[in-house]
Amino acid sequence: GKRLTIGLIPADGIGREVIPAARQVLEALPSSVLAARVGFVDLDAGFEYFQKHGEALPEETLAALKSDCDGALFGAVSSPSHKVAGYSSPIVGLRKKLDLYANVRPVVSGAAATASGARRAIDMLIIRENTECLYVKDEQQHEGPDGKYALAKRRISERASRRAGEMAFAMALQRDGMRRLMDDADRTWKGRPKVTIVHKSNVLSVTDGLWRETVRGVHTGNAAYRDGVDVEEQLVDSMVYRMFREPEAFDVVVAPNMYGDIISDGAAALVGSLGLVPSANVGDNFVVGEPVHGSAPDIAGRNIANPIAAIRSAAMLLERTGHAAAALAIYRAVDCVLAAGNVRTPDLGGSSRTSEVADEVCKHL
């Protein structure tokens, strides 16, 4: 029969705890929901790997992803806050090298997550441009007459902005289609599909100006988008304010790389924990599932990290590789576990272990 080969890159910190949990759930999927046989390839990357071997994203990992894998799951990396000679974040590198141009980040409360600490109904989809902005990491320090100063380049291109915009409008229509299949009671968003374009072009009129114009152009240039999707704009600072006051007012949100990064962590707080929010790094030819959180050194190595973000990221990977039924089975199992509420990690107020949550999700598949 069909085979599905998934590269596993746990990398650092809690990545090594949540990726095995996600693997366990993938392995537990009954053949009635996942027709393909799943195989895994264990791959190296990360800061700890860099400290031992002098590189953070080995060539073999990249080669194996390209030649042997249908998709991958990435855990998290512990990037230091100071400059380390020769080191560069492997996930940022992976996104660029595999041309994973959009980071798709659903932030959903629903009945289940409401029980887990969120007070409002939230069903946002954040599309984060994934290849440029300040993350081109072109920084230089100089010595001036008044002391040191540093400069960073921020790249915004028409192509990358257009691809992120395309993803946002296409997803807005696709989500609307999905909602029509659901019970009205389950629908958080009841309006027409909407895309909120985040920028700061009142200050950065050249870079964010190009972003704003280009994403708007995607909307005006496509009849299906013009007819079916509303557009609004929000300056990034007031975006944060509105998101905290009325998170239910957002459907799809599209943002340049750094704003998208920051907004996603904030949105995660609104649904109860960073440990719940998954993502998919999406390109035309490859997909890498990845929890939104980092390596969480404050809790690493104790088997208490919430594996749900990683498990949902595995489901996003399945969804994007043509296994929607299996993805749905995982989303539902996770919702059941969250709604029951008796098996929860400490970030959600419980006292269960990472492995216990994974076991519980498997029971509900």
Residues near ligand NAD (CB under 6 A) are 14, 18, 76-79, 91, 274-275, 293-299, 305-306, 309, 345, 347
Residue 75: CA atoms inside 13 Å, Cβ hemisphere, count? 31
Spatial separation of the C-alpha atoms in residues 349 and 343, rounded to whole Å: 10
Known catalytic residue at 237: yes
Known catalytic residue at 261: yes
Closer by beta carbon to ligand NAD, 107 or else 274: 274
- Residue 293 interface partner, choices Mn ion, ligand NAD, none, CB cut-off 5-8 Å depending on type: ligand NAD
CB of 264 to Mn ion, least distance (A): 6
- Residue 348 interface partner, choices ligand NAD, Mn ion, none, CB cut-off 5-8 Å depending on type: none
Known catalytic residue at 135: yes
Closer by beta carbon to ligand NAD, 75 or else 110: 75
- Residue 261 interface partner, choices Mn ion, ligand NAD, none, CB cut-off 5-8 Å depending on type: Mn ion
Sequence-distant (≥ 6) Cβ neighbours of residue 339 within 8 angstroms = 111, 112, 115
CB of 261 to ligand NAD, least distance (A): 8
Known catalytic residue at 259: no
Q: How far is CA 230 from CA 19, 194, 226, 256, 276, in A?
A: 37, 5, 7, 19, 28
Largest Cα separation within the chain, whole Å, is 70
Which one is catalytic: 42, 186, 265, 363? 265
Question: Quick check: 320 and 280 in contact, CB under 8 A?
Answer: yes
346 Cα distance to chain centroid: 22
Closer by beta carbon to ligand NAD, 305 or else 315: 305
Q: By Cβ distance, which residue is nearest to ligand NAD? A: 294
Closer by beta carbon to ligand NAD, 207 or else 281: 281
Could you tell me how many residues of this chain bind Mn ion (CB under 5 A)?
1
- Residue 301 interface partner, choices ligand NAD, Mn ion, none, CB cut-off 5-8 Å depending on type: none
Interacting positions 204-263 with Mn ion (CB under 5 A):
261
Spatial separation of the C-alpha atoms in residues 313 and 315, rounded to whole Å: 5
Known catalytic residue at 149: no
Query: Helix, strand, coil: what percent of the chain each, to 5?
Result: 45, 20, 35
User: φ and ψ at 294, to 5 degrees?
Assistant: -95, -155
Which one is catalytic: 12, 101, 123, 135? 135
Q: Judging by beta carbons within 10 Å of its beta carbon (0-12, 13-18, 19+), is residue 254 exposed, middle or buried?
A: buried
| Ranges of H-type helices in 98-157 | 110-115
Which one is catalytic: 200, 251, 259, 347? 200
CB of 303 to ligand NAD, least distance (A): 11
CB of 113 to Mn ion, least distance (A): 20
Spatial separation of the C-alpha atoms in residues 205 and 218, rounded to whole Å: 19
The 3-state secondary structure of 288-355, one letter per residue: EECCCCCCCCCCCCCCCCCCHHHHHHHHHHHHHCCCHHHHHHHHHHHHHHHHHCCCCCHHHCCCCCHH
CB of 65 to ligand NAD, least distance (A): 16
- Residue 34 interface partner, choices Mn ion, ligand NAD, none, CB cut-off 5-8 Å depending on type: none
Spatial separation of the C-alpha atoms in residues 304 and 293, rounded to whole Å: 14
Closer by beta carbon to ligand NAD, 255 or else 296: 296
CB of 81 to ligand NAD, least distance (A): 7
Closer by beta carbon to ligand NAD, 48 or else 233: 48
- Residue 296 interface partner, choices ligand NAD, Mn ion, none, CB cut-off 5-8 Å depending on type: ligand NAD
CB of 232 to ligand NAD, least distance (A): 28
Closer by beta carbon to Mn ion, 132 or else 261: 261
Both tokens of 17, joined, read 């705890």
Decide: helix, strand or coil at residue 129. strand
* Residues at the contact surface with Mn ion, assessed by CB under 5 A: 261
Residues marked active site are found at 135, 200, 237, 261, 265
